[in-house]
A = this chain, B = another copy of it.
Amino acid sequence: MAAKKQAALQFDMSTVTGLGGFTKGHLSKYRARAQKAAARVVNEAETGKLGFWRMPSFWLSGSRFRTLQKQANELGKRYENLVVVGIGGSSLGTRMLLNALGHRYHNERPNETRGGMRLYLLENNDPDSFLALMEHLDLTKTVFNVISKSGSTAETAGQFALVLNTLRSEFPDNWQDHLVFTTDPEKGSLRPFAKEHGITCFDVPPDVGGRYSVMTTVGLLPALCAGLDVRGFLKGALEMAERCSNSDWKSNPAFYCGAVQVAADQEAGKNMVVMMPYADRLRDWTEWYAQLWAESVGKRLDESGTKEMGCGSTPIKTLGAIDQHSQMQLYMEGPSDKLLVFLRVGAFGKSVKFPPKTQLPEDLHYFSGHSMQELIQAEQTASRFALRKMNRPSYQIDLPAVSGHSLGQLCFWAMAKTAFAGYLYGINPFDQPGVELGKHYAYGLLARAGFESYAKEIASAKAPKDEDIL
C-alpha cells in the first residue's frame, strides 16, 4: 500500500481561490449542488450506469486483458504497421497513449528496438495526408484498424471505402486479413460487413461514448499493438476509480477540481481553462482532454432539454516550457479570464546532467550542477509563482512520472471530473446534439438522399456582397 500511495497523483489547490476575483465564497455557493452531483456520480458508478467507469475493472478481472494482449500479439506477428482509421474519440486517445508512453521517434525506429508495431493514424479526410500515408506504407506489412461505433462517421467511412478499394486490388485473395474493425457489438454498418467477409471485430460497449472510450478496445488495442504499457495504464485508472468513489466532493480530486472549474467559469468569469503540462510526452494529452471537456460541458440546453444554458468553459491546449515563449505573456498580462492547470512530472525517464562549469561559457555557469529535469521543474514552479503574483488562479497536478500508471490515473480523473462537472453545470455530459446540424448541411452539399432541404437552405442563402470580399 505504501508503494501505491507514493505513486498516486497529488493535487495542489493552494493557488486557486483568493486570486483574480475568484473566492472561497464562490465555491461555497456550489456546496449543495456539488454534494448532489457527487452522490449521483458515485451512485451511477456503483450501479454500473457509467460505462467508462466500469472499464478498468472490466479489463483487469478474469482473462480479458490477456486475451486482448494475445490478439494484439497475433497482429504484430503478421504485420509491422497498424493504421488506425478513426477520428475524434476514435483517434485522440490512441494518439495520446503513443505520445505519452511510446518513444518519441517510435515509427522511425528499426524493428529490433521499437518494441511493437509502427502506429499511424488516418484521422482527417485530407487527400494530401491520405496519399502521403498510402505512398509511404508497404501494404503487405500493414493492417488497418477501422474504428467507428456507428460506421457512418463521414471521415472514417470515406477513408475506409478508399482503403477497401486499394486492398481489394492489391490483395484480391486475402484483402480481409488486412482489416480489423472496432465497433458496436450489434449496431452500425461495419458489423454486417465484417460478418459477411469474415473480418475480425473488436467490441465497443454501447454505453461508452467516443470521448470516454480510451479504456475500451478503441484505445487499448492500438496501444497494445504498439507495445505500450497498457496494463499499467489500466491499473492506474482502477486506483483512481477507487479514489473517485468517495462522495465527499471536497476531498475527491475529480469532484473538487470539477467544482473549481465550473465555479471559476460561472462565478468569476474564467471562461477558459488552460491545461499546461511540463513534459513533451503530455502534449497530446491536452488534445484528448480538450475534446473530453469541450464536447461534454458545452451545451445549449439543460439536462431536461427545457432551459437555455449556453454554458461551458473553453479548454486551452498548451505545453510548458514551450508556451512560456508563446502564450505566457498573455496569461501574465492579458485579461484575467483563465484558470490554469499545471501538470508537473516528478521524474523523467533518465537524468541528463548539465556539463561542469569548466566546460561552459561563463554566462551559462548557472546550469552546472543541475539537470534538465531540474530546469524544466524550476520553470514550472517559477511560472506558477509568477502567475500567482499577477493574481491569476491555478492548480497543480503532480504526476510521479509519465508512466502508464500515472497516465491511467490522470485520464480516469479527467473523465470522472468531466461527468461531475456536467451534472454541476446542469447539463448532460454524455451527448453532443450540437454537431448534428453541421453534418446535415455537409450531407446536403454532397447530395445525400434525405438531406435535400439542407442543400436547398444553403443554396438559397444570400451570396456575400462584393464589399464583403477582400
CB within 8 Å of B: which residues of A? Answer: 10-14, 87-89, 92, 103-105, 107-109, 123-133, 136, 151-155, 157-158, 161-162, 164-165, 168, 189, 193, 210-211, 251-253, 256, 271-272, 279-281, 287, 290-291, 294-295, 297-301, 310-312, 314, 316-317, 319-322, 324-338, 348-352, 354-355, 359-361, 363-364, 366-367, 370-376, 378-379, 381-383, 385-387, 389-390, 402, 432-435, 437-449, 458, 461, 464-465, 468-470
Contacts and interface: CB of A to CB of B under 8 A. Distances in A.
A334 B314 contact: yes
Contacts of A253: 470
A389 to B, nearest CB: 7
A154 B465 contact: no
**Closest 3 A-B residue pairs measured CB to CB?**
A88-B325, A298-B330, A14-B464
A126 B344 CA distance: 12
Contact of A126 (B280, B331, B387, B444): B280
B350 A333 contact: no
A370 B328 contact: no
A335 B271 contact: yes
A296 to B, nearest CB: 8
Nearest to A107: B108
Given A326-B294, A469-B12, A372 B435 contact: no
A90 to B, nearest CB: 8
A14 B470 CA distance: 10
27 contacts: A104-B129, A108-B136, A123-B322, A124-B322, A125-B372, A126-B280, A131-B350, A158-B367, A161-B360, A161-B364, A162-B354, A252-B470, A272-B314, A294-B326, A294-B327, A298-B332, A300-B333, A316-B316, A324-B438, A332-B435, A333-B434, A378-B445, A378-B446, A381-B458, A382-B438, A382-B439, A382-B442
A386 B441 contact: yes
A338 B322 contact: no
A104 B124 contact: no
Given A129-B280, A372-B158, A469-B13, A105 B334 contact: no
A212 to B, nearest CB: 13
Nearest to A257: B470
A381 B445 contact: yes
Contacts of A367: 157-158, 161, 446
A470 B155 CA distance: 41
Given A87-B322, A310-B333, A326-B88, A104 B127 contact: no
A320 B402 CA distance: 29
A435 B366 contact: no
B378 A321 contact: no
Given A131-B350, A157-B367, 18 more contacts: A14-B464, A104-B129, A104-B132, A126-B279, A129-B280, A155-B325, A189-B364, A256-B470, A298-B331, A310-B334, A329-B432, A329-B434, A330-B434, A378-B442, A381-B445, A382-B445, A382-B458, A386-B437
Nearest to A299: B333
Given A124-B319, A125-B376, A271-B271, A332 B438 contact: yes
Contact of A291 (B127, B326, B332, B445): B326
Contact of A11 (B359, B438, B469): B469
Q: Which of A123, A158, A335, A348 has the most CB of B within 10 A?
A: A158
